[in-house]
Structure formats: C-alpha cells, structure tokens
Amino acid sequence: MNSKDVYLLENIISFCNGIENTIARFGDDFETFNSDIDYQDACELKVIQIGEIVNSLSDSFKDSHPEVAWRNIIGTRNIITHDYGELDNRKVWDTLKHDIPELKSFCSKIIK
C-alpha cells in the first residue's frame, strides 16, 4: 500500500469520527435526524467527503480489497450530491449507523 492510500484512509477515519461525533451531539435516533436539516446536512457532507476520498484511492488498493463496496460508497456520494431533494433519510441513517462504523473499522485495521 502506498503512502497516499494510507493518508487517504486516515482521512476517511477522520470523517467517520466526525459522523460519530455529530450523532453524539445531535442525538442517536432516527426521528431527530429525520426532523433536523442541520443534522442531516452535517452528516451528509461528511459522507460526500468520504466518497470523494474513496474515489482518490488507488485502483490497486481498491482491487486488493474487494470486501469493501467501493463503488457503492462512491454511488452514495453521487446520490447525496445530485439527488438531494429525493434522499431517503432512512437509508442515509442506516448508512450512518451501520456502513460508516464498518468502513472505519476496516480502514483502522488496514493502516495498523
């Protein structure tokens, strides 16, 4: 793994931590997330940033780790960015609560 990929994985972890901190600050329940546009915006921006970073990871790194749905991460970024008014907040919440912790765990294990 090259040093750029390590740097990018560290940044992904940082944004995952930011999502966790935002959830802790605003409240760890879907109803609060669903009713607070600032909460949604804060989390969705971090998901967009993660998608941008994933897009910058080397192809060789992504190819060597097919257990991570890299294309889905980039796809989620695209959906949030381009279909903002059509977002399903339940799907976003599920991503925040399940996919983000899994991605953080994966990235942390890889760089250690």
Residues designated as active site: 77, 82
Q: Count CB atoms within 10 A of the CB of residue 35.
A: 11
- Going from the C-alpha of 78 to that of each of 19, 50, 55, 112, the distances in angstroms are 18, 11, 11, 30
CA distance 16 to 48: 11
